[in-house]
Amino acid sequence: MAKHGNVQDLLPNQVLNRTSFHFQPQRNWLNDPNAPMYYKGFYHLFYQNNPLAPEFSRKKMIWGHSVSQDMVNWIQLEPALSPSEPYDINSCWSGAATILPDGRPVILYTGLDNNNRTQVTVVAEPKDVSDPLLREWVKPKYNPVMVPPSNVYHDCFRDPTTAWQGEDGIWRVLIGAKVKDTETGMAILYRSDDFVKWTKYPVNLLEAEETGMWECPDFFPVSITGKEGVDTSVNNANVRHVLKASFGGNDCYVIGKYSSENEEFLGDYEFTKTSADLRYDHGTFYASKAFFDSVKNRRINWGWVVETDSKEDDFKKGWAGLMTLPREMWLDTSGKRLIQWPIEEINHLRTKSVKLDSCEIKTGAAFEISGITAAQADVEVTFNLPSLEDNPEILEADHHVDDATLFDRDSSVGCVYGPFGLLALASDDLSEQTAIFFKVIRRGNGYAVVMGSNEKRSSLRDNVKKSSHGTFVDINPRQEKISLRCLIDHSIIESYAAGGKSVITSRVYPKLAIGEAAKLYVFNDGTRGVTMSSLEAWSMRNAQINTNTTY
Ligand code: DQQ
């Protein structure tokens, strides 16, 4: 295996595959976002990090730490937490931050101890609360504060959430877990008067059979009256609660009503570990963590984008793993789902733009959007299907097709319209392309919109993972235009449909479609023309991502 990070070993595409405005450390491995927070003028992002190699380490995971004033440009600081004590000597795994009522931040994280790597919960506090960079963290003597209960195996007890206070002033926190000898995943509730002594509550806040281990749970209120975020302890008639759990490779969530008085979370539905579960993202996205930004009163979520490149090439490049863009999150007016949208600060990276007027995209067309840096771009496009109502052929399309066929960009079986959309990170000859597409199908008496991001042709390399991601977008194409925003950054494409109702992230490694050779197209492979009612695209500037280190 090649020595990692040896620049002379890299092929041009591997240099150009590195992103320009997504968060990752300079070198080596990143996974889960941990403890995002705002403190004294700085946003902090911690992350699971192997500082020694671009692969996950069974022996020594630490907490990397970066700070920012806009969540776009970041400065890398020294690691915040490293194994040092018997209770975390085998790794410092995921956790979250809580801002106490007096403004002090405190972290709860997962320690892997010296006794068979048992997962325990550990408290860490800033050494100097007057330091806005929070560079040093100390682990009080009373640690660890929680150990696995008797119905849980030692390695199925981890990832404390941000804590919240009930109306009674008592602190609560959730730990992700799984019931011994079953596939029942759960969020175990612990309570504390003083943030030091934690007692397990007899009833789980939520559990679901057949979902497996719940990792990185998250639990927070969302306003029912608007986009603004609310602090994690807020609970009143104007909020509902979201419980997110990471399992089976997806971040799934339930919306419901939480009462601290009854210590009860009543979800509107149950987790099923099927495509029926609500997901933050239908692509490559896991172990996310949200926080309340008190500066702009918004809730922001970060997710980990798992690598799709081969381990051998991760070693050649010297890096692996990155974060999605920070996404603002709020409850849809329907109350049925969350909406996600890149934070407004990302728009400051927009530079040169192109704008196109409404035009028809004929069947079989693929035309290039030129005039911007297609490898590093932000694109907003809307489509309209003018003749949906009275097309005489539509009845013929009324048959049942399975989801795998619908989510396949190369199949038009069952389509009334589509696939149409964008071809991102495409080569001149289209032999490489990631299609972010829509199809309209008949469902029952109406129409449904399918969104997909298809990586099957994303790279001529065969040693990268290429998936077909797909979902349904909850809009009525008879009444609404179909909108799409794609943020393209060399080897990642984040696609937001219908203003953020559905999101798909693709991690792709083109070989030809790199740097200036990367192109962007609008396409329509459907058998009917569609109208592109608007398109605006911008070149994106580079962000300063951990290029400045302070140590
Ligand atoms: N990653 C962490 C765990 C967590 C998992 C270890 C989820 O704490 O459960 O790096 O990706």
Spell out the long-range contacts of 145-151 with Cβ–Cβ below 8 A and sequence spacing 24 or more.
Answer: 145/108, 145/121, 145/196, 145/197, 145/198, 146/120, 146/121, 146/175, 146/190, 146/198, 146/200, 147/118, 147/120, 147/121, 148/118, 148/119, 148/120, 148/177, 149/188, 149/200, 151/179, 151/180
Q: What is the dihedral of CA 475, 478, 480, 483, to 10 degrees?
A: 70
Cβ proximity of 58 and 44 under 8 Å: no
Q: What pLDDT shows up at residue 389? A: 65
Segment 350-357 mean pLDDT: 97
Instruction: Identify any residues that bridge with 488 across adjacent strands, giving them in sequence order.
Output: 377, 493
* Model pLDDT for residues 405-420, shown as the tens digit of each residue: 899 999 888 888 999 9
Cβ of 216 closer than 6 Å to ligand 1, yes or no, is yes
Cβ of 439 closer than 6 Å to ligand 1, yes or no, is no
* Model pLDDT for residues 177-205, shown as the tens digit of each residue: 999 999 999 999 999 999 999 999 999 99
Tokens of 440: 């309209």
Cβ of 157 closer than 6 Å to ligand 1, yes or no, is no
Segment 460-475 mean pLDDT: 96
Q: What pLDDT shows up at residue 2? A: 41
* Model pLDDT for residues 319-345, shown as the tens digit of each residue: 999 999 999 999 999 999 999 999 999
Instruction: Identify any residues that bridge with 537 across adjacent strands, giving them in sequence order.
Output: 354, 379
Residues acting as catalytic residues: 32
Q: In angstroms, rounded to a whole number, what is the distance separating the alpha carbons of residues 438 and 460?
A: 24
CATH topology match: 7-342 vs 349-545: no
Strand pairing category for 482-489 and 492-497: antiparallel
Q: What pLDDT shows up at residue 550? A: 60
Cβ of 215 closer than 6 Å to ligand 1, yes or no, is yes
Q: In angstroms, rounded to a whole number, what is the distance separating the alpha carbons of residues 370 and 208?
A: 49
Q: Which CATH class is domain 7-342?
A: mainly beta
Cβ of 307 closer than 6 Å to ligand 1, yes or no, is no
Segment 355-378 mean pLDDT: 96
137: amino acid identity, one letter: W
Q: What pLDDT shows up at residue 3? A: 46
Segment 515-522 mean pLDDT: 97
Chain Cα centroid distance, residue 475: 22
Closest CA to 539 of 370, 350, 344, 343: 350
Q: What pLDDT shows up at residue 11? A: 73
Q: What pLDDT shows up at residue 13? A: 76
Q: In angstroms, rounded to a whole number, what is the distance separating the alpha carbons of residues 494 and 258?
A: 32
Beta strands (DSSP E) in 54-184 are 62-68, 74-81, 92-99, 105-112, 119-126, 137-138, 157-158, 164-165, 171-178
- Pocket residue to mutate for ligand 1, from 110, 216, 304, most atoms within 8 A of Cβ: 216
**CA dihedral over 209, 215, 220, 224, signed as positive or negative:** negative
User: What atom of ligand 1 comes closest to residue 61's alpha carbon?
Assistant: 10
Report how far ligand 1's centroid is from the alpha carbon of 142 (Å). 24
Instruction: Identify any residues that bridge with 92 across adjacent strands, giving them in sequence order.
Output: 111
Percent of the chain with pLDDT over 70: 95
Instruction: Identify any residues that bridge with 438 across adjacent strands, giving them in sequence order.
Output: 420, 451
Report how far ligand 1's centroid is from the alpha carbon of 252 (Å). 16
Q: What pLDDT shows up at residue 446? A: 82
Domains in the chain: boundaries: 7-342, 349-545
Cβ of 314 closer than 6 Å to ligand 1, yes or no, is no
Cβ proximity of 484 and 381 under 8 Å: yes
Tokens of 74: 């970041």
Three-class SS state of 507:
strand
Q: Does the pLDDT of residue 455 top 60, yes or no?
A: yes
Q: Does the pLDDT of residue 533 top 80, yes or no?
A: yes
Q: Does the pLDDT of residue 295 top 80, yes or no?
A: yes
- Pocket residue to mutate for ligand 1, from 215, 218, 288, most atoms within 8 A of Cβ: 215
Report how far ligand 1's centroid is from the alpha carbon of 93 (Å). 6
- If you search the block for the tokens 């990692």, which residue do you land on? 4
Cβ of 119 closer than 6 Å to ligand 1, yes or no, is no
Pick left, alpha or beta for residue 113 (phi over 0 → left; psi -120 to 50 → alpha; otherwise beta): beta
Cβ of 213 closer than 6 Å to ligand 1, yes or no, is no
Segment 120-128 mean pLDDT: 98
Cβ of 61 closer than 6 Å to ligand 1, yes or no, is yes
**CA dihedral over 5, 11, 14, 20, signed as positive or negative:** positive
Q: Does the pLDDT of residue 4 top 60, yes or no?
A: no
Segment 513-539 mean pLDDT: 96
Percent of the chain with pLDDT over 90: 88
Cβ of 289 closer than 6 Å to ligand 1, yes or no, is no
The residue whose CA is least distant from atom 9 of ligand 1 is 215
Tokens of 10: 């890299």
Segment 477-504 mean pLDDT: 97
Report how far ligand 1's centroid is from the alpha carbon of 118 (Å). 14
Closest CA to 234 of 249, 218, 222: 222
Name the pLDDT band for 215 (thresholds 50, 70, 90).
Answer: very high
Q: For the chain, what is the mean pLDDT?
A: 94
From 86-100, 226-240, 409-423, the region with the lowest mean pLDDT: 409-423
The residue whose CA is least distant from atom 5 of ligand 1 is 215
Cβ of 218 closer than 6 Å to ligand 1, yes or no, is no
Q: What are phi and psi of 292, to 5 degrees?
A: -95, 120
Cβ proximity of 283 and 469 under 8 Å: yes
Report how far ligand 1's centroid is from the alpha carbon of 295 (Å). 29
Q: What pLDDT shows up at residue 392? A: 53
Chain Cα centroid distance, residue 384: 29
Q: What pLDDT shows up at residue 205? A: 98
Supply the Cα-derived Rg of the chain in whole angstroms.
23
Closest CA to 147 of 138, 135, 156: 156
What is the number of residues in the chain? Answer: 551
Cβ of 159 closer than 6 Å to ligand 1, yes or no, is yes
Residue 545 makes CB contacts below 8 A (sequence gap 6+) with 19, 20, 21, 22, 23, 24, 73, 74
Residue 392, exposed/middle/buried by CB under 10 A (0-12, 13-18, 19+)? Answer: exposed
Report how far ligand 1's centroid is from the alpha carbon of 250 (Å). 13
Report how far ligand 1's centroid is from the alpha carbon of 177 (Å). 12
Name the pLDDT band for 401 (thresholds 50, 70, 90).
Answer: confident
- Pocket residue to mutate for ligand 1, from 158, 178, 252, 285, most atoms within 8 A of Cβ: 158
User: What atom of ligand 1 comes closest to residue 119's alpha carbon?
Assistant: 8
The residue whose CA is least distant from atom 6 of ligand 1 is 93
- Pocket residue to mutate for ligand 1, from 159, 175, 288, most atoms within 8 A of Cβ: 159
Report how far ligand 1's centroid is from the alpha carbon of 421 (Å). 35
Q: What are phi and psi of 14, to 5 degrees?
A: -70, -30
Report how far ligand 1's centroid is from the alpha carbon of 327 (Å). 21
The CATH code belonging to domain 349-545 is 2.60.120.560
- If you search the block for the tokens 């829509």, which residue do you land on? 438
Segment 238-242 mean pLDDT: 98
Cβ proximity of 461 and 529 under 8 Å: no
